[in-house]
Structure 1
Amino acid sequence: MSYQDWQRSYLRVDRRSEGRAVVVRVIGEVDVDTVPLLDDQLCIATDLAIPPAPVIADLRDVHFFGSKGIAALVGAQQRCQRRRTALRVLVSAPVMRPISVLGLTDEFTLCRTLTAALHYH
């Protein structure tokens, strides 16, 4: 099994367009070994989203979210700001916990549903 195959066994990241917005759906564990997959897809999504449509990080199916995951979200937020688009984050409890503990709840637009995250008009 290659290193990339091993990464994919712990994390699945899918990207799709929703109109002008781009949704990055993440399933599994985000840690030091798997975060490059997430970061790559968030970078691509930022390039593909057409402002003012958002990039949406759908993390509802993430069951472990380490510090590297937080760093990936911060980097995505900065890239989105430079492109004048929003980053919206759909969270699970394992994702919300480190965001809250680090006092970052006001740094991200956190949404409960995909419908809410897609609303940008």
Structure 2
Amino acid sequence: MVAIRTERIFAPSISSDEDQTRCGAAIFATRTCSPNRIAVAVVGEVDAVNGRELARYVERHLRVSRQLVLDLRAVDFFGSQGFTALYYISVHCTRSDVDWAIVASPPVRRLLSICDPESELPLADDLTAALARLDRRAQRHTPFVWSARSGWRTG
């Protein structure tokens, strides 16, 4: 008789401020910059092997963050599945009200110039510009606070 059991192979919770995963010819790494901002860096190649995993990796790490810096400066090759991943990340960020910015290498910029000619994805010139953009966006978001006496008000 064969014993059947269930074994958990995916643990979505992240226990530390930093996480690193190798997937295909790329390494995905996450760093918590502040309570509301994370940075995801990618080193290597984003292609059909790991494009979908990149999108899932980012989604998994965005649980409570309000801002994302996607650092693709160390990407040597960026295939069409990479663009699909960026599109998926964009949709997820929009639905989750997460502000984000992309800092890209020349191969990523080349593909975005073809696949995103209207520049709808938040591509920044460099890391400083990406952080400044996110800081400006954070200042525009005025939190709403519930008060039992006066109802909703800006905080």
TM range, normalised to the smaller chain?
0.7 to 0.9
Unaligned runs of 5+ in 2: 1-21, 140-155
- Over the matched positions of the two proteins, sequence identity in percent amounts to 29
Matched, 1:108 2:124: no
Taking the aligned partners of 1:42 and 1:28, their CA distance within structure 2 comes to 16
For this pair of structures, how many residues does the alignment match? 112
Q: Following superposition of structure 1 onto structure 2, how do residues 1-121 of structure 1 map, counting pairs within 5 Å?
A: 8=23, 10-19=25-34, 20-50=36-66, 54-104=67-117, 106-119=119-132, 120=135, 121=139
Unaligned runs of 5+ in 1: 1-6
How well do the aligned residues superpose, as a CA RMSD in angstroms?
1.7
TM-score, length basis structure 2: 0.65
Between Structure 1 and Structure 2, the one with more strand by share is 2
- TM-superposed CA distance for 1:105, in Å, is 5.1
- TM-superposed CA distance for 1:114, in Å, is 2.5
Q: Which amino acid aligns with 2:129?
A: A
Higher alpha-carbon Rg: 2
Higher relative contact order (CA 8 A, sep 6+): 1
Contact 1:77–1:86 under 8 Å retained in 2: no
Q: Which amino acid aligns with 1:91?
A: A
TM-score, length basis structure 1: 0.82
Q: Which amino acid aligns with 2:111?
A: P
- TM-superposed CA distance for 1:104, in Å, is 4.1
